[in-house]
Amino acid sequence: MLRLVRFVKICCLCMLGLTIILLISCAPSVPTAAPPSSQGSEGNLSQLSAIQSGWSWKTIRGEDRTYEQTRNVLLGIMEEYGVLGLSLVLTQGTQYLQKPKTYIFNLGVEHPDTKKPIDGMTVFQAGRLGQPILAYIVMKLVTDEQFDIDKPLQKYLAKPLPEYPAYSDLKEDSRYKRLTARLILSHQSGLANSRLTHPEHKLTFETAPGERFGYSEEGYRLLQFVLEQKFGRSLNELAKLNVFDPLVMSQTSFIREPRFEGHLATTASVGLDSKNSVSDVSGAFITNSSDYTKFMWLVRMYGYRLSHEAFFSYIILPEVSVRSPSIFEPPRPGEHLTLPKRLSWSLGWGTYDIPRISGVCFIGQRYQGIECYATAFESESSTALSIFVAGNAQRSVSARIVREILGEIEAPLTWLGFENAGIAK
């Protein structure tokens, strides 16, 4: 009987492997609604409009959306909100092995001075969106039996953590010995979000590890440090090996690389420091909508290159319920909160519930006029959506865009810090 069970498991794994090979082989060649990057958007629109006019997708409630209608609405929203540039990619598929359809909207320009149109080479500084990438790297290492997310991180280091200069502040606080990758990836490390908020710029614990959700970029930096110490590679090298190269994410990096010069979507007051070549999971993450949607589709929907256990831990199972009024605030006892149903955090992602939809995951950030929001879920049509907005420093526009693409759907944008965003309905 045991042999039979093992045989069945092997057969299932073989079928899953074949399925994923088919999925990854078809992902880069899906039809798109984007004009070629070598020409202006308006010039190519007239050449492609006959094809684009036939493209459509379904909202969360089954309403039809067409490319041409949506493009006109998006242009109106950009004008209303003063948006400089918008890059949006939607991937949707209705059957497990069906080749998905991808729709790309590149509208506006990268910079107010150069007036260079946004195209397939355009990249954005997307900070927080690098966290699911780090989480995927960890779960890939778990799949390969090279890492244990429940093993204290201290045990992966050659000496006690406080003996490293960057973590000497923790010398008198033994709670660092309890930190694991699972606690950090689900923002339960207890570490302060940033040591810069401390009067003396010291790294401190705000709560005990595992006590509650508490957003901490310091925690992610610590996990990055441990991985780099253990494997002798920079975060960007680990990412290229485990994510960027296998998924053909050519416009994504944890380093502010010189090759991105002339392709960065930004405002007049925010630029790219090409001299900074240090990997940083919290600040230096660079990507674009095409790369990120591809990542979400293959990893979020199908657990590309992950074991069954790693996939469910990474995506499906929430690690901690969220009761904070916003991503940066602690819970307020007795306060009535208006939050998405069952808002929680898994390993690298936020998650919440919507009726008739299987597990909505999300990640997003609004900083210095740049808005980045990504979400994926399964319903009658599995969906992955990435939105990157540049040049709108006054009002958040992402809720309006989400509503136009997906219909009336709850999105935790205000909770993420998209001021006055509300929900997308």
User: What would the pLDDT profile of 190-201 be if each residue is shown by its tens digit?
Assistant: 999 999 999 999
Q: What is the distance between the alpha carbons of residues 250 and 233, in angstroms, rounded to a whole number?
A: 19
Q: Quick one: pLDDT band at residue 342, thresholds 50, 70, 90?
A: confident
Strand partners, 86: 107, 389
pLDDT, residue 336, reads 66
Averaged pLDDT, 390-418: 89
pLDDT, residue 274, reads 44
377-383, Cβ contacts within 8 angstroms, sequence gap of 24 or more = 378/301, 379/60, 380/58, 380/62, 380/94, 381/57, 381/58, 381/92, 381/93, 381/94, 382/92, 382/93, 382/94, 382/100, 382/301, 383/90, 383/91, 383/92
Looking at per-residue confidence, does 357 or 178 come out higher? 178
Q: Is the pLDDT of residue 43 over 70?
A: no
All domains in the chain, ordered by first residue: 15-51+89-134+234-390 (3.40.710)
Looking at per-residue confidence, does 113 or 373 come out higher? 373
pLDDT, residue 400, reads 94
Q: Is the pLDDT of residue 273 over 70?
A: no
Q: Quick one: pLDDT band at residue 240, thresholds 50, 70, 90?
A: very high
Q: For the chain, percent helix, then strand, then coil, each to nearest 5? A: 40, 15, 45
Instruction: Tell me the per-residue pLDDT of 104-157, one tens digit each, with 9 for 90 and over.
Output: 999 999 998 899 999 999 999 999 999 999 999 999 999 999 999 999 999 999
pLDDT, residue 2, reads 33
Which residue from 294, 305, 303, 286 is spatially nearest to 384, judged by alpha carbons?
Answer: 294
Q: Tokens 């074991």 appear where?
A: 307
Instruction: Tell me the per-residue pLDDT of 5-24, one tens digit each, with 9 for 90 and over.
Output: 333 433 444 444 444 444 44
Q: Is the pLDDT of residue 169 over 90?
A: yes
